[in-house]
Amino acid sequence: MPGKNDTNRNKASALPAPWLDLKNLTGKGLSIDSFSARMGELWCIWGENRSGVDELVELLSGEYDQFLFESSALPKDLAVVSFSNQQKIFEEEVRNDDTDYLQKIDPGTLARDFIGSEGDHKELIRLFHLDHVLDSGYRQLSSGESRKLILLNAVTNGVLHLLVQNPYDGLDTASCAEFDQIMTGLHSRGMGIIITLTSKRDIPRWCTHLACMHKGKLVKQGLRHDVLAEIPENTSKDQWADTLDLTSARNGARSAEILVSLKNGRARYGERVIFSGLDFIVEKGTHTLITGPNGAGKSTLLAIISGDHSDCYANELHLFGTRRGSGESIWDLKKNMGIVSPDLHRNHYIPGNTLQIVISGFFDSIGLYRNYTQAQERQARIWLLRLGLEDRAKTPFRQLNFGEQRLVLIARALIKMPKLLLLDEPTQGLDDTHRDNLLQFLEQVADAKLSTILYVSHRQDEYRDFFKQHLEIGDCA
């Protein structure tokens, strides 16, 4: 009769060899004894901000020199779709921008150039809804479109192993369902797949295995159903509202004030029409939720309002009662705005530490180039304390992980509590606690009549009752 140990050895030998096998991993706050992924397993690695999950993505992206580990399997053809890789491509496109030399807009690398053997992948291109942007440059794509393009680049170039960081961030509902379909299809064709998430709410049903990270360690790993049942509901909340100066609440009894008025609005990138015929009015206190599919023009609309898109002058646009293009200073307008957007985030590739980036919100600059007061520094440090980033005050912004960077940019937008908050998918990269804290904070801002909020989101769990107006922009493609 075979003994129990023999049975266990037989079971182990029946398993396929791992395609990813990490042992005794240390570095950048990580301490992982063992993690293996085998063919046939669909892994999700979940961890909140600062759990170590982003550092693990950094390692698997090829940043080996900052880590020590033993590995019997680390695939050389692992394609990584991450915020960091998106940023690297963007910065390379900026460096190669020949707009000034050409005396016309240089679109840069076209979307179709990212796709291997385009004619062989027409079905995938349609499934990703990227067929209408193939002749657009990478920098002209929305955040969601660029993420889909990088994923499509990996798939069409025949990689056998794939790691995707926070795949649902920046994707509309239909695209999320398409991503799920694509992942299960790739798995059935023998691809090894791992996704990492900072939101527990995003853990998909198609994952067979789940690992949980906390303080740099893998505290649980195994079958999805078993591990999910052991994760407690997160009930902790921070009180961001402690940073509010309610004594400065604006008088809600004053007469109505129109902050934004756009008539027959239109926008385009080159020959591509983003939207047209859009009428949009925002009165003070009319907090507005803006939704619509990827590429429909949500981010473009906010960029026109903020003055960061050239079509702000081609439209009949009034801000705070002033017609755009009538000789007004953009800085006079921006002092009344606080902005968070994927575009602002990727344009923060400048020197500067965490504290300086938060303080720069007082001056509406990308980077800090002016002297600031002790009171302004004190307010910035209060924000860092509330966000749990007080120990990162002197850390260069670019050395923070993506979620930490997004929190810093949120603080930068909120620190002066402007008349108008333009928040374009502000919670990308955030865990559930920070997402809920931000939305709770915005609800208190709305109740105190401190700002008027324009909020772009694809996530239905972010819809709140304080939104008094809902603008849904349709797909113009």
Closest listed residue to residue 418, CA positions, set 363, 378, 347, 376? 363
Given CA atoms 272, 276, 282, 288 in this order, what sign does their dihedral have? negative
Beta-bridged to residue 218, according to DSSP, are 213
Domain residue ranges in the chain: 16-230, 240-246+287-303+328-472
Are 236 and 433 contacting, i.e. CB atoms less than 8 angstroms apart? yes
User: Measured between alpha carbons, how far is 262 from 464 in angstroms, rounded to an integer?
Assistant: 25
Joined together, the tokens standing for residue 50 give 């600062």
Q: For the segment 338-363, what is each residue's pLDDT rounded down to a tens digit?
A: 999 999 999 999 899 999 999 999 99
Q: Could you tell me where the DSSP H helices lie in 173-271?
A: 173-188, 224-230
What mean pLDDT is reported for the chain? 89
pLDDT by residue (tens digit) across 15-57? 788 999 999 999 999 999 999 999 999 999 999 999 999 999 9
- Give the span between the Cα atoms of 317 and 294, in whole angstroms: 24
Cα diameter, the chain: 92
Give the span between the Cα atoms of 53 and 68, in whole angstroms: 16
pLDDT at 13: 54
pLDDT at position 103: 73
Residue 391 tokens read as 């120990």
- Of all residues in the chain, what percent carry a pLDDT higher than 90? 69
CA distance 409 to 383: 11
Residue 10 scores a pLDDT above 90:
no
> What's the pLDDT at 158?
83
Of 19, 27, 18, 36, which is closest to residue 64 (Cα–Cα)?
A: 27
Nearest to 289 by CA among 468, 474, 476: 468
Question: Which stretch of 223-232, 324-333, 456-465 has the lowest confidence by average pLDDT?
Answer: 324-333
By three-state DSSP, how is residue 283 classified?
strand
pLDDT above 90 for 402: yes
What pLDDT score does 76 carry? Answer: 87
d(CA 91, CA 160): 27
**What digits encode the pLDDT tens for the residues 210-243?**
999 999 999 999 999 999 999 887 766 666 877 7
Residue 157 has pLDDT above 90, yes or no: no
Q: List the one residue out of 266, 240, 265 whose CA is nearest residue 411.
A: 240
Closest CA to 466 of 221, 286, 249: 286
In CATH terms, are 16-230 and 240-246+287-303+328-472 the same topology?
Answer: yes
16-230: CATH number:
3.40.50.300
Q: Which CATH number fits domain 240-246+287-303+328-472: 3.40.50.300, 1.10.3720.10, 3.10.105.10, 3.90.76.10?
A: 3.40.50.300
Res. 477 pLDDT band, cuts 50 70 90: very low
74 pLDDT exceeds 70?
yes
pTM, full prediction: 0.90
